[in-house]
Structure 1
Amino acid sequence: MNRNYIGSLLRLLLLVAVAWGCDSKKEAAHNHAEQFTCPMHPQIVRDEPGSCPICGMDLVPQAESGEEVVDSALRPLLKPTNAQVLSEAPTIAPETGTRIVTLSAQGKVAYDTREQAGVASRVAGRIERIGIRYNFQPVRKGQLLLEIYSPDLVAAQRELLYVSRQDDNPALREGARQKLLLLGMSAAQIADIVRTGKPVYRVFVYSPASGYIVDQSVVAAPATAPSAAMAGGGAASSGGGMNGMGGGAASTTAAATAPNVGNAPVLIREGQYVGAGQTVFTIYKASSLVADFYLDASLAREVRRGQKILFQSVAGDAALQTGTIGLVEPAQRGGESFATARVYLRGSKLNPGQLVRAEIPVVTENGYWLPRSALVSLGTGWIVFKAEGDVFTPKRVQTGLSADGMVQVLDDLTGWRVARTSSYLVDSESFIRASANL
């Protein structure tokens, strides 16, 4: 009997110890999880489970560190919309490989400045007669342009006449004769002066070449920058516009020498004084023309000298022509950077001042290609939305060429998937915070 009593007592003590330990654990667990909070509104703290009075979500227990325990499925929602976007938008992979891109550019036909000829007076004097009435008037070689009265010229003629009459020194006569030749008189005129003994009070200035003449005041006038439509013609279809949206401006030489003055009258008048060596007129040879095409400055690296292009008149009144780029000239005017691709024309039916457009084929092997809809402009750069799990993160990228609705991205996009249409992921009420693309 004693043995049964002792066994029953031990079993009773064991049950009491187990029950006491369970109560201690429950109390400890209750003490550690005695507060509950909302995952979306951490300021809501309750002593018992329930719902958030703000959003209605179930309250979750707080951790021992005081931080709320957040469901992993809710973590993408905790970042601001300008840093990442939760969306199920369709994605695409960037394309690679060699592409032949056609760049479009607009330009203008102008005179070739290498073939121009200047008309200057060799003596200082007063203009007595002008044979030119309007700018770009056609002239022939040897045509009379100016008649100038020069006191210095009259004095030099009187000196020749005096030496010829009073002194039988051939060296002095030849020196006086050479002086008149250097002042612009012809040998026939000098012979007539010696024969008649009467000085000529006017020196005649003749055209040194055939072409179109324009006075120096028009040539020196600054050229205006091309319109946004002309400069943007290349940028809209070329990737340079993706980086800087740069426009263009007129060429620094040929475009400046062919201002749009039409048949404006010359500004030089009879009675006006000119200095010795002063250039009065410039003659452009009609047989030598150039076509300047305006490109965004970033495209200058894609266009090479000696490259073939196709061009025609904007009005469509001329057939498609083939040309070779003879000069690629970077320049800046009016606060805008641009590049000019120049084609030298020989025997062309185009006229100076005529607008032309060109197609420039460019072969590129570098970069990745994305649809234009996959990029969003920030004003200072371009971004794409990279798919990272269930969210899209904006990434800043550097762009290159653009053609046929596709844009070249110069950064490494290996393994990326980006949103096909990025405009749907832009929050219009906040600025996009784009992280580095690498």
Structure 2
Amino acid sequence: MNRKDFLRNISIAVLVPSVLLAACVDKKTNTAAGSKEQTYTCPMHPQIVQNKPGTCPICGMDLIPFDKSSPADVLTLGASQQALANITTITIGTNEFSSFTQLNGRLTINPEQTTYVSSRVPGRIEVLYIKETGVRIIKGQPLYKIYSEQLSTLQQEYMLMADQAASFPGDQRFQQMEKAARQKLLLYGQTEAQLSALVRSKKTDPFVTYFAPESGVVAELSIAEGQYVPEGGTIMKLEAYNQLWVEADVYPSEADKVKTGQQVKVIVAGYEDRPQAMTISFITPSLQAGSQVMQIRGTIPNPNNQWQPGLQAIVLLSSTNKGKALTLPMDAVIRDGNGAHVWVEKDKNKFQSKMVTTGMENFDQVEITSGLEEGEKVVVTGAYLLTSEFVLKKGKNPMAGHNH
């Protein structure tokens, strides 16, 4: 080998490692620079995207980092995350489906179960055993004691007739007179026990106690101790709540959907899990003044007085029976300006948003006309949390990539 070739080989041996080292350093530098590139977005306004930290120009919130480079619109959550977010799924299938017309209603007192306690005789209220409203009383419970000279006179007459009938047991006239005097006191509200005690004591008692004719709650109290009341004067009003009326408003355009004897469902506010069956018993023949609505009415049982008059209620009129249809619970479908979508569990712990088209709805179910197939696993609870998590992680709306 001559001197010229030797020097050339030495130069190549020295330069090649330097070039390779420089290329490797350059590649590492570019890779590091690429890995450091980060994008940020606003959790409330995902359209705000920038490559450095800052605040949202719309709401002022701090921007958060997100992975914009991930092409898959799939959200992955671990088992603990799903439990924390209460993520549950169901397998969608066909079910019997009926749509309902929803009417706003309310619970009211059934006047057929209202009892007015009035004075049978004129007199003065000596003792009032119930002195406030809202008190629950039982049939036969003492309500008030009254002083009445008229009752004293009737008692004296009855005692006289009873003595005559006892003295002449064979005289039918005295027997009939005794029976008539006794019947008169019974009509004035005296009890059989009070009359028997009167005969035994042979002494009139102008202070007579009256008892509750029915069980109920004291709704009104019209008298106080020491007051004089006339014959027929109101003492108090009792209301029983073991049955309640349900009144609902019907617009004229919906009047053809209701008729007397029709079966409907009633949902009391706060007791959505216990719908009640009701028969429409009355429809007002004219519109309510100032409201331009009709009213329907029915009765529902109220065991243990669990509901109070005045509670809001919803009356559901069955309007259309479609038969078999793909249905989902209302909470499973998320609606926004882009349309409606649901979350589907594609694989274990992997969820994907799918756009759907909805059809008829009732109070708890919605029909799915397109976008899903029978057998798919759909998120029922926690769908809104999945949407929020997707926006935070991906920085975009889950519906952004769908064809609307």
- Please state which band the TM-score falls in when normalised by the shorter chain: 0.3 to 0.5
Relative to total residues, which structure has the larger strand share, 1 or 2? 2
**TM-score, normalised on structure 1?**
0.43
